[in-house]
A and B are shown apart, each in its own frame.
Chain A
Amino acid sequence: MASCPLSLIAPGTNATVTMVNAGEGLRRRLYELGLVPEANVTVVTADRGSIIVSVAGCRYALSRGMAMKILVAPEMVAV
């Protein structure tokens, strides 16, 4: 399935990171948190200005803008 920004997937969805579209510094920071290509992420909540994601057993709050930069392939779910 095609990639889309992490900020756009529904809560409860599992996805695989395909790319981190950020500048050197920010990319390094996201990589340090485990938001690397091939990593599995789950969106825990997304009903506020920012979202909580779970990656490699850790939780992070990301602003929507940050989450735009992380492209993921959502797991296929029945529509």
Chain B
Amino acid sequence: MKKAITVALAGNPNVGKTTLFNTLTGSRQHVGNWPGVTVEKKEGIREYSGRTIEVTDLPGTYSLTAYSADEVVARNFIIEDRPDVVVQVVDASNLERNLYLTMQLAELGRPVIIALNMVDVAEGRGDTIDEKRLAELLAMPVIRTVGTSGEGLLDLLDAVVAIAAKGEKHTHTIGYGDDAEALISDLVGILDDDPDLAPRYPLRWLAVRLIEGDADIRRVVSGSSVGDAVSARLADIDFDEYEATLADKRYEAIGAILPQACTICVRKMTGSDMIDRVVTNKYLGIPIFLALMWGAFQLTFAVAEPFMAGIEYIFGWLGEGVAASVGPEWLASLLGDGVIGGVGGVLVFVPNIFILFLILSILEGSGYLARGAFIMDRLMYAIGLPGKSFIPMLMGFGCNVPAIMSTRTIEDERDRLITILVNPFISCGARLPVYILFAGVFFGRDAGNVIFGMYILGILVAILSAKLFRSTVLPGESSPFIMEMPPYRIPTLKNALLNMWEKGSTYLKKAGGIILIGSLIVWFLASYPAGVGYGSEESFAGMIGKFVEPLVAPLGLDWKIAVALIFGFVAKEIVVSSLGVLYGAEEGSAALSDALLADPALSAAGALAVMVFVLLYMPCVATLAVIKKETGSWRWAGFSVLYGLVVAWSLAFVTFHVAGFFLGGA
């Protein structure tokens, strides 16, 4: 007679394991205790097709992480007693949770068969499970069973006999990411040197347990001949972090398998909080987020328009008054072209800035923004950043300076550095006037969509850059996270207005300070040396602009834009104020928008190129200073400038030519 086949029955609690055990073994059971612990041990025997099958019912466990006596018993039995086959009883109506244990069983080196139980419950609920596909993906047999009726039992026994006859080890394992895998293969190499460990344990599993900080396994290895070498390799490892990362990877593997093998497999929705369910929903979350953002920009543009017209009218009137009544011609030019043209050109956008800040304040106060970060977690994870990195990105829509400071909450140094470096691509409030000006002039009713497109482009460039940095200069895995979700509340108008004022007033201060100074400098450069036509090519501004013009000419831009871009480095609004100053010369008191439209050197394609360039070209002075401060070196600040210029130039070039093809003008 052939040797008996040993089978270990594993599974989560309450999956019908005991029922299946009883149906399998009938009355031929023996109940005892596992040695040393008060955990019940049940064994039974079944004769099938001429073979004796000895079944051991392992304690029901959710995982094999050795947190409880049950888990230790279960995994020690599989490791030490080496059953010929491990049968995992799986609750088909709760596949995701059950497969976590499967992922761990697969690492123990024994062949695993899945007994897919409770399929009736799952299918009664509307799930459709393709067990053949599941078997393929898991690389292990999957047999449908109904414990109570004994359905599928003979198929299961056939599979057990067949697998036992093959006597293969199970070799399918999941990948834990480059970082962990490097460590695992180092450890496997070290462990392999001990002649006693390799026959007793699957080495990969030992290595995985070691980096997950398993104290039991650490003791086993410490007593071996390679104990010191292993300790040395594990000396400065954050076990907690690895444990969490590895768990995340297992869920990721399950997440990749499930949708391919099961059509619905969703859990029942009970409980009260519908809002979180809806706005963080797997399918609705991102569309809702995008729709809200799109609505915000449309609203910004529509609501602000009458206010803008009013402010424009006031500055036009002021300009005419100055031209008519101020004595010396140079003073009239300084006030009219420099101050009113420059600062006025920026102040026109105050309504937009305030409305955008108001909407962001409302979203923040309502608690929605944190959900936005949560929704983006999967996306962030895919690009190699923790979900937390999304908050600085959202804050970047206001201003990159506080956004970069807020990265201090990110623990991992490399995660933080990447989040800092991509932040300048998130379109801040200062860039909005440039878009409004150019989109408003050249795209009319589509201006809102064009501006929304700029924000999306900024996000895309940030994401792709993060991915690029992650795979080149700053490799690593993103770390697991905890993030607070503030409660939903209806924001009070008072709070929203206060918040808006707090952020918006810095814009006003900038207009009175750095932008005024910048405008005066541009005015000076445009007016001198003495005797040249104001803002002409012979002025200092013209000379500078002409000098760099060859660089921007391929983008469809002329020297005036070049000068504005150079000054925009101080603060991006200055692009607008500089243009206000420079164009003020030719067009008298006409509004800047009319002047731009009349300029034959500018086309709609060129306008798009300007927007793309301003979006991406380099962090402003204040952002650069904070990058230097937060990264502790000029190296990264310099890198950020160079990288930004290259990306901006390339994309503006592509934009100009592609848009030119469709819109004409290239």
Binding site for B on A (CB under 8 A): 2-5, 7-12, 19, 21-23, 25-26, 29-30, 33, 42, 44-50, 52, 54, 57-66, 68-69, 71, 79
Contacts and interface: CB of A to CB of B under 8 A. Distances in A.
A39 to B, nearest CB: 15
Nearest to A54: B273
Given A29-B482, A64-B247, A69-B240, A58 B487 contact: yes
Interface stretch (B264-272, B505-513, B568-576, B628-636): B264-272
Interface stretch (B45-53, B62-70, B141-149, B164-172): B62-70
A26 B123 CA distance: 41
Given A7-B247, A59-B484, A69-B240, 14 more contacts: A9-B97, A10-B94, A11-B267, A11-B270, A33-B482, A44-B273, A47-B266, A48-B374, A49-B252, A50-B374, A58-B485, A61-B377, A63-B387, A64-B251
Given A42-B271, A52-B276, A2 B482 contact: no
B246 interface: yes
A11 B239 CA distance: 28
A55 to B, nearest CB: 11
A25 B484 CA distance: 18
Interface in B234-258: 238-240, 243-248, 251-252, 255
A54 B487 CA distance: 10
A5 B373 CA distance: 24
Nearest to B373: A61
Given A12-B269, A22-B240, A61 B62 contact: no
Contacts of A21: 65, 67
A65 B280 contact: no
B63 A61 contact: no
B16 to A, nearest CB: 10
Given A49-B251, A49-B378, A68-B244, A8 B97 contact: yes
A42 B486 CA distance: 15
B126 to A, nearest CB: 16
A79 B94 CA distance: 12
Contact of A48 (B94, B244, B282): B282
B542 to A, nearest CB: 55
A52 to B, nearest CB: 6
- Chain A contact residues: helix, strand, loop or mixed: mixed
A52 B485 contact: yes
A64 B99 CA distance: 14
A2 B70 contact: yes
28 contacts: A2-B70, A3-B67, A5-B62, A7-B247, A8-B97, A9-B97, A10-B97, A11-B270, A23-B213, A25-B240, A33-B484, A44-B271, A49-B251, A52-B276, A54-B273, A59-B484, A61-B373, A61-B387, A62-B482, A63-B244, A63-B248, A63-B482, A65-B244, A65-B245, A66-B481, A68-B247, A69-B243, A71-B67
A60 B243 contact: no
B492 interface: no
Interface string B364-401: 00000010011001100100000100000000000000
Interface string B251-293: 1100100000000001111110100110011100100000000
B248 A65 contact: yes
Contacts of B14: 79
Given A49-B248, A69-B244, A63 B62 contact: no
> Which one of B12, B280, B373 has the greatest number of beta carbons of chain A within 10 Å?
B280
Nearest to B240: A23
Nearest to A53: B485
A61 B282 contact: no
Contact of A59 (B62, B67, B485): B485
Contacts of B381: 49
B660 interface: no
A60 B247 contact: no
> Which one of A26, A57, A68 has the greatest number of beta carbons of chain B within 10 Å?
A68
A66 B487 contact: no
Contacts of B97: 8-10
A47 B97 CA distance: 12
Interface residues of B, number: 54
B100 interface: yes
B490 interface: no
B482 A60 contact: yes
A11 B269 contact: yes
A61 B485 contact: yes
A61 B388 CA distance: 10
Contacts of B485: 52, 58-61
A44 B437 CA distance: 45
B480 interface: yes
Given A62-B482, A68-B243, A48 B378 contact: yes
A61 B378 CA distance: 12
B280 to A, nearest CB: 5
A62 B245 CA distance: 12
B65 A68 contact: yes
Interface string B612-624: 0000000000000
A20 to B, nearest CB: 11
Contacts of A7: 247, 251
B240 A12 contact: no
A25 to B, nearest CB: 7
Contacts of B476: none
B13 interface: yes
B407 to A, nearest CB: 18
A47 B240 contact: no
B608 to A, nearest CB: 36
A12 B270 contact: yes
A6 B373 CA distance: 22
Contacts of B270: 11-12
B268 A10 contact: yes
B282 A47 contact: yes
Contacts of A9: 97
Given A2-B68, A11-B267, A26 B240 contact: yes
A34 to B, nearest CB: 11
Contacts of A44: 271, 273, 276-277
B530 interface: no
Nearest to A24: B240
Contacts of A10: 94, 97, 267-268
B603 to A, nearest CB: 45
A6 to B, nearest CB: 11
B483 interface: yes
Nearest to A77: B270
Interface in B38-81: 60, 62-63, 65, 67-68, 70
A45 B276 contact: yes
Contacts of A50: 374, 377, 387, 481
> Which one of B13, B276, B486 has the greatest number of beta carbons of chain A within 10 Å?
B276
